[in-house]
Each structure stands twice: as structure tokens, then as C-alpha cells.
């Protein structure tokens, strides 16, 4: 029995239990399509509980016998992790100030820096920043529009027009 595998399974079970516990505190008034705001947390929490139970069972009954040897580096790439983490934290901090589209585009730009850094292709030139910002906005703007216009879900915007 590999204790690390059991720990991963137990952690997944704990996370699932926390999400299910949180889902019980969300009101369940049925909305559009007959599902309420607590539907998705229930689905995710129950899926995590099922996956965690399977992981613990697999680890206790002999471990992952058919698991291949891991590929890639022996250790994580910390600079890439830091780039991606900064992107996520900036999005959380700025989404209500600069809006969904710009904050998600910024997250995309910083995540790209992290992934390219891990590949050894980090490009900090102004052109790379601008291209990645444009791609990030091209992805975030339709998502914002679809949530706001088609699903009637309000996301933070930069202006009151509902378009950015």
C-alpha cells in the first residue's frame, strides 16, 4: 500500500465532502431549465466523492499496478507555476475593477507566459504580450457575451453597456 496514493484519495474525498457540505447551504430554488444554483456544486461534490473512494480503494488494494512511469521533469517548474498563479490571483483581484473580459485576457497572457516558460520558450517581447492579449480577449469576449446575452448571467463588466 502506497501511503501517498491513499493520501491523494483521502484528500479528494475531503474536498468532495467540503463541496457537498457547501452545496447544502446554497438555496435550491429552481431557475431556468429546472435546475437551481446548487445543482453544479452537488454534481462536482458527488463526482469528487466517487473519484476519491475509487482512489482510496485502488491504493489500499495494491496501488496503481498498471501505472506507467511519469514522463517529463522529475520536479515541477516553479517559475511557470508562479506565472500561472499570478494570473489566477490577478483575475480574482481585478475582475470587479476592470471587468470579466480584461481580467480573463490578463489571466490568459500570464498563463501563456507560465506554459511557455516551462517549455523553455519564454518570450517577454512586447509583440508576444500584445498577441497573447489579443487572443485572450478574442476568447473572453464571446464567453462574456454568451453569459450576459444568451444565458442572462451577469458578469462584471468594465462599462454599464453590457458589451465589455
pLDDT tens readout for residues 33-56: 667 778 889 999 999 999 999 999
Q: Give the chain's count of helices (H) and strands (E).
A: 4, 0
17-28: per-residue pLDDT in tens? 999 999 999 887
End-to-end CA distance of the chain: 53
* C-alpha dihedral, 109 to 114 to 115 to 118, nearest 10°: 160
Ordered by start, the domain boundaries in the chain are: 3-60, 78-150
Check: pTM over 0.75? Answer yes or no.
Answer: no
Nearest alpha-carbon partner for 61 in 10, 3, 1, 12:
1
Three-state SS for 11-30 is HHHHHHHHHHHHHCCCCCCC
Amino acid at each position: 500500500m502506497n501511503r501517498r496514493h491513499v493520501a491523494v484519495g483521502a484528500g479528494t474525498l475531503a474536498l468532495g465532502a467540503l463541496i457537498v457540505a457547501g452545496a447544502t447551504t446554497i438555496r435550491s430554488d429552481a431557475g431556468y431549465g429546472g435546475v437551481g444554483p446548487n445543482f453544479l456544486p452537488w454534481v462536482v461534490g458527488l463526482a469528487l466523492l466517487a473519484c476519491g473512494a475509487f482512489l482510496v480503494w485502488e491504493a489500499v488494494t495494491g496501488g496503481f499496478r498498471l501505472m506507467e512511469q511519469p514522463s517529463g521533469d522529475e520536479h515541477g517548474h516553479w517559475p511557470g507555476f508562479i506565472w500561472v498563479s499570478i494570473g489566477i490571483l490577478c483575475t480574482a483581484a481585478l475582475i470587479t475593477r476592470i471587468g470579466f473580459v480584461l481580467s480573463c485576457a490578463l489571466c490568459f497572457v500570464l498563463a501563456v507566459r507560465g506554459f511557455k516558460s516551462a517549455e523553455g520558450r519564454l518570450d517577454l517581447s512586447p509583440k508576444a504580450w500584445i498577441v497573447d492579449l489579443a487572443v485572450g480577449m478574442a476568447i473572453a469576449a464571446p464567453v462574456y457575451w454568451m453569459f450576459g446575452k444568451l444565458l442572462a448571467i451577469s458578469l462584471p463588466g468594465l462599462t454599464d453597456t453590457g458589451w465589455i
